[in-house]
Structure 1
């Protein structure tokens, strides 16, 4: 173990850091050699932030000066026995947690496993002191420095949250945002409003209402309230943001309605009935609000902090915290900007910059400059192209949203980003191998696209193989073609199969003990919530790893489990009614079957999301399983997919909101009602638009007005027929030409076993950082994406987490997550302005810088091999299996 040095304790004290008598103070000479000033550490007034951060590094602790000072004030109450007990529990929980610092885990192992630490305290005073500080940080705040950077460890019980201002702003923004997102969801490219934009706009409106609303108190149903309870606070602000997060997710039922109603698809007129639309929307939206995703914490005993939620928390802190004290940062400068000022400046900068690559000079957004050398060179475009190629180019892009399409830089932990990048590179090598060996006839197709093709190299026309009900017509199929996939899409399917089994084996191997404890705890809570009458007084166990946020939330009443149970039962009933009461010719059993699929994978998906910040979607497995249960029926598969895939996806968003409420100390019952109301508003606002959108001239065709060409709906229709009508048996069955891709299932199953054994046998930081599911997830980032969408996020995260964070922790803690929110918000607002100000009036700017990225083979998707002279490749028509 590396030597750890600390500031000496008060010379007037004869006690060592562990509280025993007669142990000498700690190694001033070595501290001087390390360049640390020697003296008594003033825990109440941090004068020199740089010295304090250097002190934390010497201690081997990730903590800012303020955190270290607070911990040192409380260390006297931490006995050595309790410290060891806490560290033993921490090791049990975090031994496989890549977010937990490896050097801290090494120190814990030294404290617990080295008998000399207990028998010779005088030789290990520094280690004991450091571990006591760590124990105080863990129980008094959070084990993660990233959480401590943006979350307050105190709570004001008198601070209101579910106020008139919250309801008014939250409902208003929920309706407006849901309306906008649904209105432009079918546009190419789509325009959407994020909850970050709502969070920014809610603040001035909340402050305005704080100034103008009367402070008079009213009494209603025996409760006293005021329209203006005082200062617009962070709890109100966060609750509004959470409502918008829920409401801005457009309902998946829109895809089903459009595919059924439009004449170019299934042309089923009953799909235009509002009753059919609203029952399916309400059923799917409310089933997603499952209690299994509770996040306070979602899985007690399982390490997680939902890294993607930290940017939202940082922005909330920026609006409501006073943080103008200076911190040392890069370039040997001291930075005193508040988070809010930093946010506004960075947001304004990104707002202005987006106009250049987003409108004025689009070659900066898609700088496929290598292909400009020889635009018609197919090999050059396939390797370096940014549109249909692999994007292997050191200059990826100069536009934020393009360069972060497959990653969430700055906020996602570096280990997760690097694991994804490794899997991404492995998948890229597989694509090259498949393409240049012409495996699966990929040489006749573009190398990297998610489109489906026929045996003539044209886009697969699914209407040529189905009847008007979307069911397979074998005679028509034999006359047309089998579907074929590009090399990039083939590799994605292989790794999709792998990621599902990898999630299951990873969860069992790495978290089986914690899940057992969590399951027992949740079952006790469920039984307790259904009991009536007074509960017997039971002395609570001393949970050694309960952080301060969990303890503070105990002051608020929990949401009874039966509330969620009722929501689930009602939503199931509405969903079944939407299928059964209309001539869908689909068994209503697809609704509970789909929900069951989501429940099976919910815990593994939630774990991966909580640790890595990446959300594994269930779309492929839902299509695979649903089409196998109800073969040959596209519409039945669509319902199964909606209730299987979207239930899990929306439940994770719900879980993220609960975590935000947990960290901001919002009453869980307030959170429940805010989310239910936001879901209801979103459902009605979006459904009210369906028939209006269906009335657009040539909607979902290339001739559609306002560019409403519906790329998502077209993909959904293709997938519904591809999986539902054509079916997985023909693709992956014994005679299917993609049957070898099923090897992905055992590959994914075995991969976590390999990393688990390596972690147990090889003690190194590199091996401990391996995450098998993150690797497989990264392999999914091809087709239609490529290296130009991946590399910028890797570089930015590396600079943030490796160069900035270890050297300037206080600077990083204050600005890192705010920077991400500022960039995302700036791009979103700028894109909306560009759309309404220029693209709707069709004000175009045509010049070389805006046309060159869309010319040549990179744009067209040139192929390596021409279709044979007989006019097709693969089996002859009429001989398809």
Structure 2
């Protein structure tokens, strides 16, 4: 976005040069101004800044004094100096301005440069400083546009109920099926348009405002409100996993867990604690412009595509002029992906898991351990032709900035060699186990049988444990724990080193929110979106506080009124953990699109504080990890509403209602499943309702709750050294900070993000490099190649393309599930079986070392406790 200084050509030789220069000084100055403004206007127009908007930016810039501009620039540099999303050339331009004392001493000698800088600063105030945001988010608003209408509520709640029902019902199936908000966004548009055509304009006046069944054309605000309701309603309560493991006889057989009141209390408490925290954190994570929330831009791009009728004319490759509207482009890309998705997922599965190097020698342990897609580390230059694999875990290369995708890949690539080193050196006896498994094993190399370490009530049995085996982890899983511990300390350190200014600003605003004179003062957030949102009433802080308190009471009642053998203090533990991490991990997610999961930390602390009690550990995990995850999800929705200019109180009502309805629907479906599906969560269950996630959750709850981290990571544990990950994270964050301080001229260092790199380092077991590397070329093409060369084309179609491809996969996946997978149809031929040959077939097929008959590895029985 930066603008280079414009210099005039040297004048022709003349004896009256001085006279000519003096006579034409005003003309030259005007020409330079016009050239600078024309260049800047053309560049900004590529990102959707119209001529009228540019004139407004110039007017705003002219209102700044030199001192005012200087103060604003100091603030911009302070906040955005280490912001990898902010244009580096602009930061350097601002630093040049601040470092030159002659500008303040002799402003007349730098008039063109000063005017350019003022315009750049004014643009940050008038609009978003980020081109990707300006590309899809309008910097204008119509306060009279309907949003919270009867038809929007009817459609939104219908989809919330439908998504809650389907996602809960099929969450226990292998493979699971789920409906996302992007599919609802597509379906809601024709329904809203139909309602606008069919419904009569019947209404009544309430509190001075008319409420009508049909207030006019279906608006983009109504559309987004429906999408937010669907997003909230589609989330299955995490506490259902706790209920499953408690209630079923093959697990802990605690029959009180079948009571609806118990289920609904714990379900509501985790969700609404998260929402209460989201409201508290909106001054940290929603209002600041640097909180971009990349994942929200795709949703807004699709919303804009449905409701934008402006003409499109953009130059692209080979000078071709593109005039296709966003909506037509969306459906074209959507149809192509829908048709293509059948090829790698039904007709030619080898294209999805393109482990072509493994085909050379399918049974070669050393080859497949490095290049294998299914059971190896996935070092393959061409691993997949399936877009669904590329965007796995939300790592969409069109949606996330290039630096995010590349940093994640770099961290994963580096940790690959650590995993190989652990395996080949037989560190922690890992060579007797599969290389990259997320399962837990005993000292016979078999899956850990938790029933041999617990008593009849599901509590830890020391005698049975000592007669059986410690728990062992694969090399890939060991790597995950090392860098998971590291990422927590690195996140907090990074927040202090790089985000302290933003965090202090957030705390200041949070404090001011309780002061009557300042509670609704949004002037400190000067970007256009906060300025436009001043037209609407803000949600009082006490509303969120009341939600938080009610959720805490529900949680205490759920844990305390039934024989859970768990202190209600776990509720406060979760809130405390969230308060420590929510802002640092929230800012990182808002800037990079990467979420730091608190699951392992919650398990580690919970299992250490209450050893031998799996249920207590599960509740610590639920109130520690899940509330933070919910808070960030709700915050993302708040940012969506902020971008589209939905009144905050309407967003509050929508999220609250959809969460309430969804929790009741999911809980009702859960009870139906537990009591009406014969053999549910066993291998004999009908329709593949075998509950893979429930079984994994049960195993983890016993290992980290019943056996406990002390026996695994404690002083006598076999994995005590893994705790070095905590100081390692601190060292990594400090090292990158020191290097950036030492070499500030290395601009590429601004794109290095240690926390994102660490998130790539834990992207293993059972996933591998084949799920990360393919995104890098696409991210480079989008953000580094197309964006600077054809910014108008990129801003018009990039996020729409991301949404179209994801939506095509979602719809095709649903059709394939019910048409092919549900009836059990299988297409057997070489292209669908070659990817599962040899070591790539079963996890136990290829290991580095094998045991003889009656042999076992690790501590001798009787030597571990």
Question: Which band: TM-score by shorter chain?
Answer: over 0.9
Alignment of 1:538-549 (within 5 A): 543=524, 546-549=526-529
Structure 2 counterpart of 1:326, from 290, 298, 313: 313
1:503 aligns with 2:491: yes
Alpha-carbon deviations, 1:773-814, whole Å to 9, x = none? 111111111111111100111111111001100001111111
Structure 1 equivalent of residue 731 of structure 2: 750
> CA, structure 1 residues 156+588, in 2 after alignment: closer, same or farther (shift >3 Å)?
same
Alpha-carbon deviations, 1:521-568, whole Å to 9, x = none? 21110343xxxxxx6x9996964x611110111111111111111111
> CA, structure 1 residues 323+378, in 2 after alignment: closer, same or farther (shift >3 Å)?
farther
SS in 2 for 1:184: helix
- Deviation larger for 660-669 or 399-408: 399-408
> CA, structure 1 residues 41+494, in 2 after alignment: closer, same or farther (shift >3 Å)?
closer
Structure 2 equivalent of residue 4 of structure 1: 4
Alpha-carbon shift at residue 73 of structure 1 (Å): 5.0
Cα distance in 1 for residues equivalent to 2:48 and 2:568: 59
Cα distance in 2 for residues equivalent to 1:41 and 1:162: 44
Structure 1 counterpart of 2:54, from 71, 74, 77: 71
Cα distance in 1 for residues equivalent to 2:313 and 2:209: 45
> CA, structure 1 residues 3+817, in 2 after alignment: closer, same or farther (shift >3 Å)?
closer
SS in 2 for 1:279: helix
Alpha-carbon shift at residue 41 of structure 1 (Å): 9.0
Structure 2 equivalent of residue 835 of structure 1: 817
Structure 2 counterpart of 1:391, from 368, 372, 378: 378
Structure 2 equivalent of residue 578 of structure 1: 558
Cα distance in 2 for residues equivalent to 1:443 and 1:410: 38
Alpha-carbon shift at residue 149 of structure 1 (Å): 0.5
Task: State whether residues 559 and 669 of structure 1, in contact with CA within 8 Å, keep that contact through their aligned partners in structure 2.
Answer: yes
Structure 2 equivalent of residue 634 of structure 1: 614
Cα distance in 2 for residues equivalent to 1:2 and 1:177: 45
Cα distance in 2 for residues equivalent to 1:603 and 1:301: 12
Normalised to the residue count of structure 1, the TM-score between the two structures is 0.92
Alpha-carbon deviations, 1:463-497, whole Å to 9, x = none? 21112332110111112111111111100110110
Structure 2 equivalent of residue 136 of structure 1: 122
Task: State whether residues 522 and 531 of structure 2, in contact with CA within 8 Å, keep that contact through their aligned partners in structure 1.
Answer: no
Cα distance in 2 for residues equivalent to 1:62 and 1:730: 62
Task: State whether residues 63 and 145 of structure 1, in contact with CA within 8 Å, keep that contact through their aligned partners in structure 2.
Answer: no
1:604 aligns with 2:584: yes
1:734 aligns with 2:715: yes
Alpha-carbon shift at residue 701 of structure 1 (Å): 2.3
Gaps of at least 5 residues in structure 1 are: 9-20, 32-37, 44-50, 529-534
1:479 aligns with 2:460: no
> CA, structure 1 residues 383+492, in 2 after alignment: closer, same or farther (shift >3 Å)?
same
Cα distance in 2 for residues equivalent to 1:806 and 1:507: 30
Structure 2 equivalent of residue 253 of structure 1: 239
Structure 1 equivalent of residue 798 of structure 2: 816
1:284 aligns with 2:261: no
Structure 2 equivalent of residue 274 of structure 1: 260
Alignment of 1:515-530 (within 5 A): 515-528=503-516
Cα distance in 1 for residues equivalent to 2:211 and 2:56: 40
Structure 1 equivalent of residue 18 of structure 2: none
Structure 2 equivalent of residue 34 of structure 1: none
Alignment of 1:187-226 (within 5 A): 187-220=173-206, 223-226=209-212
SS in 1 for 2:530: helix
1:428 aligns with 2:436: no
Cα distance in 2 for residues equivalent to 1:183 and 1:542: 47
Structure 2 equivalent of residue 308 of structure 1: 295
Alpha-carbon shift at residue 343 of structure 1 (Å): 0.7
Task: State whether residues 559 and 567 of structure 2, in contact with CA within 8 Å, keep that contact through their aligned partners in structure 1.
Answer: yes
Task: State whether residues 344 and 822 of structure 1, in contact with CA within 8 Å, keep that contact through their aligned partners in structure 2.
Answer: yes
Cα distance in 2 for residues equivalent to 1:470 and 1:795: 49
Alpha-carbon shift at residue 221 of structure 1 (Å): 6.9
Cα distance in 2 for residues equivalent to 1:409 and 1:766: 19
- Deviation larger for 270-279 or 612-621: 270-279
Task: State whether residues 289 and 527 of structure 2, in contact with CA within 8 Å, keep that contact through their aligned partners in structure 1.
Answer: no
1:365 aligns with 2:352: yes
Alignment of 1:93-242 (within 5 A): 93-121=79-107, 124-220=110-206, 223-242=209-228
SS in 1 for 2:315: strand
CA RMSD of aligned residues (A): 2.4
Cα distance in 1 for residues equivalent to 2:305 and 2:5: 35
Structure 1 equivalent of residue 480 of structure 2: 492
Structure 2 equivalent of residue 703 of structure 1: 684
Cα distance in 2 for residues equivalent to 1:429 and 1:621: 25
Task: State whether residues 139 and 546 of structure 1, in contact with CA within 8 Å, keep that contact through their aligned partners in structure 2.
Answer: yes
Task: State whether residues 556 and 668 of structure 1, in contact with CA within 8 Å, keep that contact through their aligned partners in structure 2.
Answer: yes
Cα distance in 1 for residues equivalent to 2:656 and 2:821: 36
- Deviation larger for 736-745 or 465-474: 465-474
- Deviation larger for 815-824 or 753-762: 753-762
1:25 aligns with 2:28: yes
Alpha-carbon deviations, 1:134-165, whole Å to 9, x = none? 12210111111111011010111111111001
Structure 1 equivalent of residue 457 of structure 2: 469
SS in 1 for 2:327: helix
Task: State whether residues 283 and 510 of structure 2, in contact with CA within 8 Å, keep that contact through their aligned partners in structure 1.
Answer: no
> CA, structure 1 residues 722+285, in 2 after alignment: closer, same or farther (shift >3 Å)?
same
Alpha-carbon deviations, 1:327-384, whole Å to 9, x = none? 0112331111111111111111111111111111111111112212222111121111
Alpha-carbon deviations, 1:279-309, whole Å to 9, x = none? 1111112111124554366366573211111
Alpha-carbon shift at residue 77 of structure 1 (Å): 4.0
Alpha-carbon deviations, 1:41-83, whole Å to 9, x = none? 997xxxxxxx888x53xxxx79536357732453144235133
Task: State whether residues 618 and 645 of structure 1, in contact with CA within 8 Å, keep that contact through their aligned partners in structure 2.
Answer: yes
Gaps of at least 5 residues in structure 2 are: 9-23
Structure 2 equivalent of residue 339 of structure 1: 326
Task: State whether residues 71 and 136 of structure 1, in contact with CA within 8 Å, keep that contact through their aligned partners in structure 2.
Answer: no
Task: State whether residues 257 and 271 of structure 1, in contact with CA within 8 Å, keep that contact through their aligned partners in structure 2.
Answer: yes
- Deviation larger for 66-75 or 433-442: 66-75
Alpha-carbon shift at residue 396 of structure 1 (Å): 1.2
> CA, structure 1 residues 138+632, in 2 after alignment: closer, same or farther (shift >3 Å)?
same
Alpha-carbon deviations, 1:414-457, whole Å to 9, x = none? 11211111111121111011111010111011111111111111
Structure 1 counterpart of 2:340, from 347, 353, 373: 353
SS in 1 for 2:396: coil
Structure 1 counterpart of 2:640, from 644, 650, 660: 660
Normalised to the residue count of structure 2, the TM-score between the two structures is 0.93
- Deviation larger for 480-489 or 374-383: 374-383
Alpha-carbon shift at residue 132 of structure 1 (Å): 2.2
Alpha-carbon shift at residue 133 of structure 1 (Å): 2.3
Task: State whether residues 5 and 26 of structure 1, in contact with CA within 8 Å, keep that contact through their aligned partners in structure 2.
Answer: no
Cα distance in 1 for residues equivalent to 2:217 and 2:492: 47
Structure 2 counterpart of 1:85, from 50, 62, 71: 71
Cα distance in 1 for residues equivalent to 2:800 and 2:73: 32
- Deviation larger for 266-275 or 111-120: 111-120
Alpha-carbon deviations, 1:844-876, whole Å to 9, x = none? 211111122123111213101102454211112
Task: State whether residues 513 and 520 of structure 2, in contact with CA within 8 Å, keep that contact through their aligned partners in structure 1.
Answer: no
- Deviation larger for 811-820 or 586-595: 586-595
Task: State whether residues 221 and 645 of structure 2, in contact with CA within 8 Å, keep that contact through their aligned partners in structure 1.
Answer: yes
Cα distance in 1 for residues equivalent to 2:270 and 2:34: 63
Alpha-carbon shift at residue 760 of structure 1 (Å): 2.1
SS in 2 for 1:804: helix
Cα distance in 2 for residues equivalent to 1:289 and 1:206: 28
Structure 1 equivalent of residue 789 of structure 2: 807
Cα distance in 1 for residues equivalent to 2:656 and 2:750: 41
- Deviation larger for 304-313 or 402-411: 402-411
Structure 2 equivalent of residue 568 of structure 1: 548
Cα distance in 1 for residues equivalent to 2:293 and 2:528: 17
Alpha-carbon deviations, 1:224-267, whole Å to 9, x = none? 31011001001111111111111111100110011111122111
SS in 1 for 2:392: coil
